[in-house]
A and B are shown apart, each in its own frame.
Chain A
């Protein structure tokens, strides 16, 4: 055990925690009992306070990063909780398998992906991460061990997927991987000039492409132009892997933001220029090309620690899903508010989510349109803007993504996640995080 300062991805806080390594699954019950209350941490790629517990215990199972078994006939993989998605993709894409669902960074643990029930660019066809989990093993702070899955202890499974690490420590995960012809995708970039155009392009793309996502330029003309990317897996036998693409650990490297600049590099002066430059860059690569999965799925992983560019005060990410029926108006309203505020940043993501109801009681996706925007933390003015955006989300009947949240009001949480009361029955009384105290009362 040692005291260390820990920040999550948004770098909004930097508090001391007691880091308690989990050295093996069999040692976990004893370690939990001796050091509770606490919460598990993964790679701290969540933006807000879901994996923080100021002054208290953070269980660290990242050292448990081994594969426990793989069936090459069915694609069923069992692994320890600290295995990184990066490692799964690199190892199995060589053998013709990949994760069915992956978020936009691969530097995430399997347990972290379960605890936030993450989604990818293919929600309409593949659902969330939990849709591909066959079973999980949980250890509670009272020493109980629970194995659960879609057909075994289903209630525990629904509570744990998207359960924010609060139902028990995940010590192993069994997943079903997806057959792929290799690590390549046939990807296409298309520019759009208006929101209605985005929606029709998106619908048309969903019918033919597994992966669909768009980058929206939120600083030009109040935000309405962008680039939509869509892709399907493709066999590409004539290509060799890019250097380092196959590697365990070979994924390190690439430029790093070497220090925290004293102010945000993303500001009113740089932003419009950044967005215009990015738009032009992408515009040049319109059309289709065969690309490796890394730049397509994980473009931001190429710059390590890019989150430092927002300066010492960190940044917020506002990610919401809005029902399709009011999606166009609500998205326009949010973009209008952001434009009027002069805040907002380089990262704007607009994509549609499919109709599949997620497994988890607190899973994020619902049918509609997802809008994600980063905001450098400028203090009160940023908080005021975010709360105006919350009002739009509440009115539209949408919800915010907990993996990105550091500040939503309890009322918006309860309205967005009506199963929260049911969830509380499964919460481990010995597990508590900044987020659980803020939104769930303990």
Chain B
């Protein structure tokens, strides 16, 4: 019986810890991607409204949980794609205020230390979700579209300015953070090189983006917004930033030439400028869902020469989905053009994980020591049965932190064209889905048409500027 008491004693504090620092870390024993399946299903055309209601109200209950940021990002996007802008605005507001709080949070936060402490005995899911840089950018991006949906152009302009600020700050900040993680590894005598090799497969995907947060889609949306509202200087700056990340994109090159021309520069051959009786349509196509993290088990060497297996989050880049472009046609099915990719959100996520690896390795190694120590204690006090229990606990509790905003699209694409005024029908199609939209084109006005491919259904939203 002694071994049983011993196990109870060692496991009880762990459970107590987990309970104390927020019962709602529901990803602790149920991998987050499994939970997110439902959220993704809730995005779809009108007939799934009942389901969306259910998902939105379920997610609403997570508002006070430790992972509130994550759940509110998901909820905000689901609500926005159902055109419930006020709801969605509230959700993203919570996320934004949490991000803002983090900026001036103290260096050592005791409640964080408690979470970190309990994560040493359970897994990284015990640490409250704090969001990634690219998710912060997307939060503001979505919030801007909420204001556009409510026809509040000033509100949208504030968000677009804020997102530009965040993109700049993150760029300055991230290099410093990566360097700090390496310093911490050196302090704890952890050899990064052997473990980093396991992640080298990620490079092929991560290499396709400039950094883990420089988001050309957001730059492009702000640029198109500034151009439509007459702030040509800001438009030019943002088009150029989008172009820097996507030098092969034919639309952005044209956009830069057009804005330069509007500012009094020389006229290029084809600057895609609207005639007096034409309106401009900017299509934002968001394809699929960003891939979820999978899990790999890596052996961590223990101090007495053995190995201890721990779970790491990983992106399986060999099974990376291929993104399709959207074909846009007029009412007679004449092709107006195809969208071009400006950002691969999957690649942003991979790059973000890659940048987290140094910190992750440090934490996992400390966890390996802690769990190994617990197992040895159990063996000493409880014999074979104790060791069995401890091993079982380790297997059950050892799961990788697979949390990330999963209703985000896999890729985001853009295109731009001008149409004569009046009601025009537009047809959109991908190889497996199609939809149409009647649009009231107003002369000299810009309309944002957002097309989202979710579960092979095309959802359209119109934002008039």
Q: Check if A and B associate.
A: no
A residues sitting closer than 8 Å to B (CB atoms) are none
